[in-house]
Amino acid sequence: MEFIDELRMDASLNHTDTEDIFIERSIEILQNCGELQDIFPLFFWKRRPNKSIMQFNAYGFDEADGSLVLLISDFQDVYEPANLGVTQLAQLYKRMTNFLDELYWGDLKSYCDDSDSIIDVAKEIKRRTGTNLFSSSVLKYKFFVITNAKLSNTVKDLKQEDYNERPAELHVWTMERYYEVIEAENTEPILIDVNEFSCDGIPTLKAEVGNNLDYDAYLSIVPGKFLADVYLKYGSRLLEGNIRAFLGIKKAVNSGIRNTIIKEPKKFFTYNNGIAATATGIRLDGTKRNIIWIENFQIINGGQTTASLASAIIRKDNVSLDGIFVPMKLTVIKPVENMDEKEEIYSQLVERIARYANKQTSVKDADFFSNSPFHITMEKLSRKCIAPPVNGSPYSTIWYYERSRGKYDQEQFKMSKSERDKFKQKYPKQQKITKDELAKYMMILECHPDAVAYGSSKIIKPFAEKIDKEYQEHREYFNEQYYKKVVCAAIIYKRTDAIVNKQPWYPKGGNKAQIVPYTIAKILDAVPTDKSIDYELIWQKQDIYPSFVHEIEIVSKMAHEFLLDSHGIIVRDYARDAKTWARFREQKIELTAEFIQDLVPAELIKEVEASARKEQKEVNKVAVEIEVVKLGAQYWKNLIVQAKEKGILGSKDESILLQATRFEDTIPKFPTSSQARQIMLIRERLGNEGLFI
């Protein structure tokens, strides 16, 4: 009941249907837990001459496991929806395959105008599918049914026959399943019983790598068929920690793997670098020599190897994979009671394994942005920036920065209703900002709508390349004023989204994800260089002002018409091209007099930001000194000893670190601000060189 009421309220605020909000919320959860990667909402419904229905509500391509994804909604806007049974589930599945049937072997154009965006989507699907399995980048189909109903007890099996010579998976997500995922740290655990994959056990040897570590290490030999079958079942979820998606069979390294699988399978073990993986638990057989069960198995390095083995089965290059074995280095995280500490340990291990394992593809620091201290700073700032009460409310609110995936929901899960109501009053759901959203909002403010159009999975990299450099060189830039600007960017984006959604020219299931960033960027780009939008007014009102609303109404229609003229290219891809943004940027617009009148001098904004940076610089100095002291003199002594044993500590750095060991002496001597900063930089460098302390 509470869930439905929330959906209805959000739908009312956003001038849309309750089902649209349900789809949006479901996609967010599925992306957070790794089930979906780059999904694009698009409503399609048509009845065929034989009365059968074609329908889906979102589509996408999962590059990590080469799958085409279709999603359909079964939402009932009632408090107690009817159960979803076998017959209804089969009908929903058939609606999605009916669309593909018509796309591949029928005449989809007979149902649509040539200008309909579904025609471009169909062309893209056919292009990716190719003329045969070898030329195809679609290696399997994943069909998702999202519902607020309960799954009937009559549904016993979700297995489907192959479709178009490729594996077909059906995934059903109910409210119960959503809640289970949120409770279990926002991800469904991958629990692997090796016997279920026709494997008696994975031969392994425990590595003696030292005592008092937060992990155990194992060296194993994995049957290629087992690895491929696990990948075929779990797909990209198996690569959640992997920093690279599957690069495609045509890349040189993958072609080499494929040739070995086909021509010299028994030499695969010798030629291949193997995989690096993590787990949160394993079980061994009675001999202690074979792994028979794995909890939360994640491939951190070796995604290409794994995907190539699975591709060999699908493409019938080598279905049995007889004689193929893969070397594996498995890191098993030891149990930790504190979940935040466990997440920190896991993130650090993933980053360093990926950074220092094989070098099949260059890996840049930006690829590890999700583990950046920038996010810790944003989280701290978010809790300090209290938004003013608005709309007659007597209460101030806080924009919740979600540093850890799904933390907003996890914090509430075990609260009572009254506690949850208080939490939401302080941190309203519509005032949550994720890491990906922060990157999106700030890239739009900097007028890069083409980058934003790539979606959350790709936007993080260009943003990280810029922000990491700034954070290392000028940490004082990231202060309360900066976070307020992040919030203003979020307000602008969310309000633009709602404004576009209620325009009479906007079709249901249109290209809003592209229209919104192009609209905002076009308006900001047209602002005179000596002027700026009034961020302080937006912060105080927690909303954009009337002249800004009117400007959005004008420019969004312009953006909509421009993007529709995509020359036969799917709008999503057309909007991602920098040349597209360059063309739209060149189109002349005349800002309204009211909007121009509400602009403020750019110099005023710069003065406010400069003052905030100066203040933050002093705060940072003190914070670094405190951090050095908090770690304790013994910590720094141990760091010096271990770094010297590894031969990665020079005499100059050692003398600087010694300054951090003297504040517990009889006559304490504390490091200066400059020394404290140098000390922490040395610690960071030693960590990057593999020193775990």
Token output for 589? 């617009």
The per-residue pLDDT for 186 is: 57
Q: What is the largest CA-CA distance in the chain?
A: 91
What are 367-409's pLDDT values in tens digits? 455 557 788 889 989 998 999 999 888 889 999 998 877 788 8
Contact 20, 3 (CB under 8 A): no
Sign of CA dihedral 654, 657, 662, 668: positive
Token output for 203? 């031969």
Task: Report in angstroms the alpha-carbon separations of 124 from 69, 98, 138, 556, 568.
Answer: 13, 17, 11, 26, 10
The per-residue pLDDT for 535 is: 95
The per-residue pLDDT for 686 is: 82
What are 70-129's pLDDT values in tens digits? 999 999 999 889 999 999 999 999 999 999 999 999 999 898 887 788 888 999 999 999
What is the rounded CA–CA span in Å between residue 234 and residue 239?
Answer: 9
Please state the separation of Cα 584 from the chain's center in Å. Answer: 28
> What are the beta bridge partners of residue 172?
145
Residue 298's SS3 state is strand
The per-residue pLDDT for 664 is: 75
The per-residue pLDDT for 290 is: 95
| For the chain, domain boundaries | 2-183, 191-361, 373-598, 608-688
Say how many Å lie between the first and final Cα of the chain, rounded.
48
Fill in the amino acid letter for 254: N
pTM of whole model > 0.85?
no
Q: Could you give the angle at which helices 480-501 and 512-526 cross, rounded to 10 degrees?
A: 120
Per DSSP, the residues of 310-347 read HHHHHTTSSSS-TT-EEEEEEEEEPP-S-HHHHHHHHH
> What are the beta bridge partners of residue 432?
400
Residues 6+ apart with CB under 8 A from 560: 500, 505, 506, 510, 511, 515
What is the rounded CA–CA span in Å between residue 332 and residue 282?
Answer: 8
Task: Centre a 10 Å sphere on the Cβ of residue 654 and count the other Cβ atoms it contains.
Answer: 13
Residues 6+ apart with CB under 8 A from 529: 602
Contacts 24+ apart (CB under 8 A), 371-379: 371/347, 372/464, 372/468, 372/471, 373/471, 374/467, 374/468, 374/471, 374/478, 375/401, 375/403, 375/435, 376/403, 377/471, 377/475, 377/478, 378/403, 378/438, 378/478, 378/483, 378/486, 379/403
Fill in the amino acid letter for 199: C
The per-residue pLDDT for 249 is: 43
What is the rounded CA–CA span in Å between residue 307 and residue 224?
Answer: 11
Task: Using 70 as the pLDDT threshold, list the residues of the chain that sit under it.
Answer: 1, 183-188, 210-212, 240-254, 335-371, 456-457, 690-693
